[in-house]
Amino acid sequence: MTAECLLHQARVTIMTLHNLPPSMGGVLVDEWSNKTPDEAHAILAGQDVTVTNQSDKVIQLAKLKVLNERAQRAFARSRDA
């Protein structure tokens, strides 16, 4: 799927800052749309991803794991129903 197609179907709005062109939203979609939750976690957990409050990063990364588990269980239940 192309970024343009995904942006057309997206349930998000990407607003660029600091005079970046709107096309940078497509770059974000290209970068993240095909990542699994485990891949996203690995990238975001990296030392090169800096945050203001490290404890917030730890909390949000844990939530990403829980969200993935819940989504998988919900999908399995809906498929089995």
CA 35 to CA 18: how far, in whole Å? 26
**What pLDDT was estimated at residue 1?**
46
Q: How is the chain split into domains, by residue range?
A: 1-34, 36-81
On whether the CB atoms of residues 65 and 37 are closer than 8 A, the answer is yes
Please give the residue that has the higher pLDDT: either 3 or 81. Answer: 81
CA 81 to CA 71: how far, in whole Å? 15
Residues 10-19 have a mean pLDDT of 82
Helix or strand holding residue 20 (H, E)? none
Residues 6-13 have a mean pLDDT of 67
pLDDT tens sequence across 22-65: 889 888 888 988 899 999 999 999 999 999 999 999 999 999 99
